[in-house]
Amino acid sequence: MIEGIKTYGNNSLINELKYAIDPVFICTIGTTETSLIPGLSGAGASPDLTEYTPAADVEILCLGNVKCMDNIPQTVVGKAAAPTPAMLTKASLQIADIPFVIVDAGSKIKPQIECMRMGSKYGRDIRTGKGVLNPLEIYENARDLGAELARRHPMLIIGESIAAGTTTALGVLKALGYDANEKVSGSMPHNPHDMKTKIVDEGLKNANLDPKKDNIDGLQAVGAVGDPILAAVSGLVIGVDEQIPIILAGGTQMAAVCAIIKSIKPNFDFSRINIATTVYVVGDETADLIGLLSQIDEDITLHSVNPNFEESEHDGLKNYLDGFVKEGTGAGGAMFTALVRGVPVEKLRKKIEKVCK
């Protein structure tokens, strides 16, 4: 029992992570122009700035500041704001001394740092029915990278940063036949489910796809109503040797990744996959992550991380308690890693506060 972690499923991978020598954190970034739809995403101070958020997040991880925009991104609702989850990730990786690499699955705004690029195209508005123009290219490049990283590291922790990612996740889950309406999380206190459903349904219609009639595969779903990250993370996971455990650091997007993997490899062993996210996602009353995962595979274990921000001296972090932001940049998985590797939850919170100042 580790303070700050609640596990739904099997905790066997906790011990593997605790004693693993040189695990690696992978942050995968990408763009979907779906984020430009007003009122859909809070992952930026305005819709046009959401496209800068992924690049800025990984610049924070690597440089401690941002180069691609004037100010560090934050989630803004009305006059209140919360620090980007990248700050939580940065603090967690620093305090646990975990190395990381940046993977660009297909971003519109490029970070001014070294990245491993999986494809040359960024994601489009999924209402067109052509959300990702090159899903197979991204998937195959990521699959090769996953195999290479698994030869060098005993465990992979994979996070993501993309604005409007819960909407594209909804798109893929619905395309693959899952009951996902009003079950995906969001980056704001108000979760615009009706808007998300309308966007996805329009995209499926324009892609000439009917989940009730058509046998849609994972990459086809990504190409129509998904985003580049979903193709990349699915490839990373499938490329890894079957003996290598993986932590998927995220919430709704990682549920969609599992659904894609299940489509591509129906007999995939999900017992070596754990999802680690924040208590703000797992406890989101406007969503149902546990219910989504149970539809996909009963062997998927979920870890919920609670950094006890109610005790924080940082007002912006307290806004996480009100749903202003819940997850991103692999924050849940990064905090999970730090806690499992022996960092007390109070010490982790203090480190996060220091990084956020």
For the cut 90, the answer to whether the pLDDT of residue 1 exceeds it is no
For the cut 60, the answer to whether the pLDDT of residue 78 exceeds it is no
Q: What is the pLDDT of residue 186?
A: 84
Mean pLDDT value of segment 196-208: 97
Mean pLDDT value of segment 216-245: 95
CA dist 356 and 319 (Å) reads: 13
Q: 5-356 maps to which CATH number?
A: 3.40.50.10210
Where do the domains of the chain lie? 5-356
User: Which segments of 11-80 does DSSP mark as H helices, in order?
Assistant: 12-19, 53-63
Q: Are 16 and 274 in contact (CB under 8 A)?
A: no
pLDDT band at 121 (very low <50, low <70, confident <90, very high): very high
DSSP string, 120-147: S--B--GGGT-S-S-HHHHHHHHHHHHH
Q: What is the mean pLDDT of the chain?
A: 93
- pTM for the structure as a whole: 0.95
